[in-house]
Structure 1
């Protein structure tokens, strides 16, 4: 009992000392001046920058009451009565820090205001404690109206807008004093996570905004500032958002890259406000050479016209997993869909994962399988090879080298069914090599080797990088280093490799894929004039039309994936583009990209095949 009493006495004493010792500092001098700069991989050449600050301070009298109420309902429903801190949040933050997790965020409006206006962006527990003391002192020295005014003039709403006045202009092209109930509630919803709730982010973002918007309206009712009928009327639809004008600094491929960088920063725990106003110095993995190479190759090889035709390109350094270059679409200002990360069915370019699983399971490159078409299942389903009618025949028994070289569907189905739990083994091999388990429609079915799920050029390049680096898998990434404005390291990427294929198995898979280039469907890649391995792929939609066309290939130094799709990624290519085969436009685009990136890079050969169990 005495021990418990002593604990509380000491705790109270420490709290009192901390409160007295904490002074309210001058406002953060950097608040108005911090622009985040993004650099290429060299760390010095600027790739782009994130929104220079847009902020106009106004008095609380210029903010409609219903806008104040919406923000309070969204962020801190006890704001009018609380003492400025959330004790449970502080305990949660301390517990998380002890466990070694990221520091938890503040919850009250006062705490958020203190964090933005008085403190740096560091994430230490000591800053959290100081934040709590400052919130208590600010609560004693300023009125609730003064705190709310300061908060509404500094909080980040996305689109480079700090404060309610800038946000009203950015989202509705009007002053804050003219915002309607719907518009005020929508802005209050957005400020919680601008990157997630900005309606310009597409259908998914708008759906998230609708849910958050309803939460805000319900909150306004619960705190007694909006009657239920008015809330129901407002909830029927979102306010009208004028079309967003995208800045020229996002033109061409730059917008696609900067969007990827922003998402990566958010994934690492940086807030929207830190990204757009925190003065970060971000070094990415992208190189000018690789970016320019992909764009030039697409311009050179893509068939002219055909406005519905989309090309995605991604190049990955297999030794590190660094994403060196992408081509996401013709111009970010015309379409924000990034086809380097959007999905299409990889088709036969997925077969190397089945080959790796098969050799690991005990088969060899000399093992033979059914090459004639069609392959019929006991239930009457059929798989056919490419070709007229029932498809081309390659022989009743063909080895895996020929099956890979000529992309023989029936042989790969035979391989899959010849393995015990073959579909599951292929799926697990693909996931281990880098294909996300969450990929849409990726299931362990008998046709898995034919690539009937959804993947992206970036993920395919990242997974093929395992083959290019002797069976060592690693995640692809876009952030190398993040520093604060004063040079403090906030994030550094650590490359982690895991052996997922034995070296002998890997060399055999690479040998088969080299034959694709030397003798098979990827012969157009011979123009690279150095040892290369790869695989073509086409896939069909539910109507039986070819909907995607691929070539994914590599040298020991670089992996590049190229995808051609149409419309929403599932429309017919046959009858639209001159040739839909992966051997044509995708392979030529791959070759043109690789030639430019590897110019002047020493030629390296692959390890010889081991012919495991042959």
Structure 2
């Protein structure tokens, strides 16, 4: 029979296999202590960061103010520029159905959490680790509010950590009512609508105070992905319904909607109003606003300053003259000829101030401003040939060849000039400059152009002399540099903007 080992032998055996001797126990204790200290250090670090992190200023988009544009009287408004179409509501102006729907959609623990949802963050972290990048998720309403109002849309661990700390801090600084009110006034609902009030007006043509359960549930649905859930896009119903039904189920779970009410609404989207275009730029006035913006840009104002700087811009446009200009063009424009474009510019002599401008019937349908676009000025350009001639020593009695037709140039450069009239044009014979101007005799002005040179002698530099006279009168050199100085230049074949002709 084998003998039982002595105690000393047992200790030796245990030490040999490293069982429960003193060193493994000590190591285990050290590991526990290190983990505790690491956890404590982590908590202290988070606490320290919480204390030292400051709530930054809101993003500029949420500090912008609308810029208003006025007629020359300084009181009658033409329109406005704004960065975000938003109308702020007070807390008591936002209906509970809107609050409940948004909470059901975005953060069902909103009223209980302290700005962040630990389980949501862990779930998001697991998903991000699986994806190998920051894909989002786990954000509470407070976190979304903080991200929009104070941070950027960057996807990074650093930004996410800052978002969480700020959310905890904002939750301590503001009441839940303040947070949900700020959120509903800030969040984007698609189609240019920022905030619950403008969203309600955009999709349902009613104030937010009158939203039904179905309408509120839809608005809560669209927050998640405004473009994807756009109700006016093709195939929108199939995309919207699952999320819409999810919101209704959440409202039931929260106890703010009965199961029977939700059952009636599920699968039935509310009726949407036709989408309205931005009427601020509708009609002819849109061209006035766009021209004003371009002039501000020339004065080195940035787009951000123009759109959100809160300026009061008083233009030179005269309210009564502008109304008369619009009435004059629209009453005199031929019907049934859509390819005919009409423009009108009225400029104050001596100052060059534009008092009235008509660039087109509706800026929203066409942004082409025919008053500022280059078009053939025709015979109005002849005045620059007259100016050049008088400056070069010719007089209104100077004799010119007014016969028609007139052949100029040779070979491939040969051209035939005709006066107005029948196929060959009316022939005036020899005419003086006064009569040629009065009757707008094309051939006589071609003859005059051939006579003009910088030193007054005959030669081929006449076309350039006409362009120089135009530049001296105020036609932009950037426009004239694009004009080929051919012999018929005074006939106005090359494009010049009506606004530049009026200012010359």
**CA distance in structure 1 between the aligned counterparts of 2:161 and 2:352, rounded to whole angstroms:** 50
Decide whether the 8 Å contact of 1:369 with 1:414 is kept in 2. yes
Q: 1:336 to 1:418 in 2, by over 3 A?
A: same
**CA distance in structure 1 between the aligned counterparts of 2:392 and 2:362, rounded to whole angstroms:** 45
1:414 alignment counterpart = 447
Q: 2:404 aligns with which of 358, 362, 373?
A: 373
**CA distance in structure 1 between the aligned counterparts of 2:409 and 2:366, rounded to whole angstroms:** 46
| 1:419 positional shift | 1.5
The alignment partner of 2:466 has SS state of: helix
Q: 2:432 aligns with which of 378, 399, 402?
A: 399
2:285 paired with 1:277: no
Decide whether the 8 Å contact of 1:53 with 1:276 is kept in 2. no
**CA distance in structure 2 between the aligned counterparts of 1:417 and 1:424, rounded to whole angstroms:** 10
1:37 alignment counterpart = 68
2:23 alignment counterpart = none
How do 1:187-336 residues align onto structure 2 when only pairs under 5 Å count? 246-336=277-367
| 1:308 positional shift | 2.7
How far does the alpha carbon of each residue in 1:362-401 deviate from its partner, in whole angstroms, 9 at most, with x for none? 1111111101112222414221111112211111x21111
1:354 alignment counterpart = 385
The alignment partner of 2:502 has SS state of: helix
How far does the alpha carbon of each residue in 1:444-477 deviate from its partner, in whole angstroms, 9 at most, with x for none? 22111011111121111011xxxxxxxxxxxxxx
Q: 1:378 to 1:273 in 2, by over 3 A?
A: closer
Q: 1:434 aligns with which of 474, 497, 500?
A: 474
The alignment partner of 1:366 has SS state of: coil
Q: 1:351 to 1:167 in 2, by over 3 A?
A: farther
The alignment partner of 1:49 has SS state of: strand
Q: 2:418 aligns with which of 380, 384, 408?
A: 384
**CA distance in structure 2 between the aligned counterparts of 1:287 and 1:392, rounded to whole angstroms:** 42
2:79 alignment counterpart = 48
**CA distance in structure 2 between the aligned counterparts of 1:373 and 1:148, rounded to whole angstroms:** 81
Decide whether the 8 Å contact of 1:416 with 1:423 is kept in 2. yes
Greater C-alpha radius of gyration: 2
How far does the alpha carbon of each residue in 1:499-557 deviate from its partner, in whole angstroms, 9 at most, with x for none? xxxxxxxxxxxxxxxxxxxxxxxxxxxxxxxxxxxxxxxxxxxxxxxxxxxxxxxxxxx
Q: 1:445 to 1:335 in 2, by over 3 A?
A: same
Q: 1:398 to 1:278 in 2, by over 3 A?
A: same
How far does the alpha carbon of each residue in 1:390-448 deviate from its partner, in whole angstroms, 9 at most, with x for none? 211111x2111100100001111111111122111111111121212232852222111
2:369 paired with 1:338: yes
**CA distance in structure 1 between the aligned counterparts of 2:365 and 2:227, rounded to whole angstroms:** 30
**CA distance in structure 2 between the aligned counterparts of 1:410 and 1:176, rounded to whole angstroms:** 70
Moved more, 351-360 or 266-275: 266-275
Decide whether the 8 Å contact of 2:61 with 2:84 is kept in 1. no
| 1:303 positional shift | 2.4
**CA distance in structure 2 between the aligned counterparts of 1:393 and 1:147, rounded to whole angstroms:** 85
1:449 alignment counterpart = 490
How do 1:1-40 residues align onto structure 2 when only pairs under 5 Å count? 26-27=57-58, 31-32=62-63, 34-40=65-71
1:110 alignment counterpart = none
Decide whether the 8 Å contact of 2:395 with 2:433 is kept in 1. yes
In the alignment, structure 1 segments of 5+ residues that lack a partner are: 1-22, 70-115, 119-141, 150-163, 181-243, 464-614
The alignment partner of 2:355 has SS state of: strand
Aligned residue pairs, count: 296
In the alignment, structure 2 segments of 5+ residues that lack a partner are: 1-53, 89-105, 107-115, 135-148, 152-156, 165-185, 194-198, 200-221, 229-274, 454-460
Decide whether the 8 Å contact of 1:31 with 1:277 is kept in 2. no
How far does the alpha carbon of each residue in 1:589-610 deviate from its partner, in whole angstroms, 9 at most, with x for none? xxxxxxxxxxxxxxxxxxxxxx
Decide whether the 8 Å contact of 1:427 with 1:443 is kept in 2. no
The alignment partner of 2:346 has SS state of: strand
How do 1:10-159 residues align onto structure 2 when only pairs under 5 Å count? 26-27=57-58, 31-32=62-63, 34-51=65-82, 53-54=84-85, 143-145=158-160
The alignment partner of 1:439 has SS state of: helix
Q: 1:166 to 1:405 in 2, by over 3 A?
A: farther
Q: What's the Cα RMSD here?
A: 4.3
How far does the alpha carbon of each residue in 1:20-50 deviate from its partner, in whole angstroms, 9 at most, with x for none? xxx9985589944511011111222211111
**CA distance in structure 1 between the aligned counterparts of 2:423 and 2:320, rounded to whole angstroms:** 45
**CA distance in structure 2 between the aligned counterparts of 1:148 and 1:364, rounded to whole angstroms:** 80
| 1:166 positional shift | 4.3
| 1:324 positional shift | 0.6
**CA distance in structure 1 between the aligned counterparts of 2:162 and 2:387, rounded to whole angstroms:** 62
How do 1:534-573 residues align onto structure 2 when only pairs under 5 Å count? none
Q: 1:49 to 1:360 in 2, by over 3 A?
A: same
Q: 1:29 to 1:457 in 2, by over 3 A?
A: closer
